[in-house]
Amino acid sequence: MHLITLILGTVLLHQAYSLECHCTQGSGCKNSKIECPSGQSCSSERHVSYSNDSKINDVNFKGCALPERCVNRSLNFGLVQTLISSSCCTTKLCNSANDPEPVQSQPNGKSCFSCIGQSCTSSLACTGNQEFCYSASVTVDGQHISVRGCVSKEMCQGQSSCCEGDLCNSASSTSAGLLLIMAPLLSLGLLS
């Protein structure tokens, strides 16, 4: 009898504390809905990329996220800048609305070296929350491509290729973290 009570209690407790959210992709996303793991919230993100002040990409994502991921983030490599607005909520299916388009910010006084593939000697004025410089090297179609620019603090979590001083990203380094975000840009052929 105690075993049945324990099993029923566990099942009912799981149902009571599971958070159902809208989702756009990924594992666990079925019929545009997902059950979030414990400790996560419903999230909505909007990724907008610009090249020479022209919008080249605008994508909305919905799903589950840890609360610390629910902050606005940005990265700027000179040729391409991506702004990410993010919000989270904790009630059933609360992430139905898309996040507003993130606003391009003014220069903040910080400078980093910038490039995607070409000579990495030009400096870039960082904007808004871009407080760190970033550098990486990636191989695309057998070619070694350098990537440098400005990023927000949240994009640097655990990244050894982020640094805080002005123009501190002159030395080459290799990292995969932010390059995953750049994959859509690489597929658009912006680097050719």
Give the chain's mean pLDDT: 82
Summarize the confidence of residues 13-31 as an average pLDDT. 77
**At residue 8, does pLDDT exceed 80?**
no
Q: What is the pTM for the complete model shown?
A: 0.76
Contact call for residues 113 and 59 (beta carbons, < 8 A): no
**At residue 164, does pLDDT exceed 90?**
yes
Separation of alpha carbons 30 and 19, rounded Å: 14
The region of weakest confidence among 51-55, 112-116, 181-185 is 181-185
> Which domains are delineated in the chain?
107-187 (2.10.60.10)
pLDDT at 160: 63
Those residues whose C-beta lies under 8 Å from the C-beta of residue 7, and which sit 6 or more positions away, are: none
